[in-house]
Chain A
Amino acid sequence: KAGVTQTPRYLIKTRGQQVTLSCSPISGHRSVSWYQQTPGQGLQFLFEYFSETQRNKGNFPGRFSGRQFSNSRSEMNVSTLELGDSALYLCASSLDATGVGEKLFFGSGTQLSVL
């Protein structure tokens, strides 16, 4: 069974631009979560989607948004990029049999650099 796939692996953007990252979960997984990883702040939760609905959200500004499609694939969008948005963005999927405490399976991430 294929793992979580994130595209692209690397991305370089300039300040003020917007970016869209894509995540395909493991087949059969219905929940998709997004995380930001930086050397200074560590791993921080962005949001979680299940059945095309956002169920949970972290403490990030409205410039960060996401969505989930009917096939469970998810995208996240960052508008008006800032230098501080440079980070590794990780996507994770789970079966969501119980909703909380599920084992999350992560992709290899998208490394975003904002110049």
Chain B
Amino acid sequence: AQTVTQSQPEMSVQEAETVTLSCTYDTSENNYYLFWYKQPPSRQMILVIRQEAYKQQNATENRFSVNFQKAAKSFSLKISDSQLGDTAMYFCAFAGGTSYGKLTFGQGTILTVHP
């Protein structure tokens, strides 16, 4: 079974600064995908970024980038130029094997961006 661990229950950052959220995972599979989702107070889960494990290049989406360390099973999210709208709960998630539609989520990190 896969597990996803987010060791930071809460983080805070000043507007325009950079923050990194940590995530580690455990799996015996070779082919898998990793995700970061954000859940603002509206409760809707929004995809931030996706990383395919067979790709060595780290995924980026505008101000969001990941540091994917496959051997260490680490998948951190860096948010640059933080904005007030980035305030949300962030979830790291894993999908692999034949897990159709199934994401295994971490416990989440509450990120607060201060003006």
Contact = CB atoms under 8 A, between A and B. Distances in A.
Interface of A: 31-33, 35, 42-43, 45, 47-50, 55-56, 58, 88, 90, 92, 94, 96, 99-109, 111
B45 A100 contact: no
Contacts of B37: 106
A108 B43 contact: yes
A55 B91 CA distance: 24
Contact of A100 (B35, B42, B50, B96): B96
Interface in B64-108: 91, 95-108
Per CB-CB distance, the 8 closest pairs between chain A and chain B, nearest first, are A48-B101, A101-B33, A33-B101, A106-B45, A43-B105, A55-B100, A56-B100, A45-B102
Interface of B: 31-33, 35, 37, 42-47, 50, 52, 91, 95-108
Contacts of A58: 102
Contacts of A45: 101-104
Contacts, number: 76
A105 B52 CA distance: 18
Contacts of A111: 43
B1 to A, nearest CB: 10
Nearest to A6: B44
Contacts of A108: 42-44
A102 B52 CA distance: 10
A99 B105 CA distance: 18
A100 B95 contact: yes
Nearest to B97: A100
B102 A56 contact: yes
Contacts of A43: 91, 103, 105
A48 B71 CA distance: 30
A42 B99 contact: no
A101 B52 CA distance: 8
Contacts of B97: 100
A101 B101 contact: no
7 contacts: A35-B103, A42-B106, A43-B91, A45-B101, A88-B43, A107-B44, A109-B44
Contacts of B45: 90, 92, 104, 106
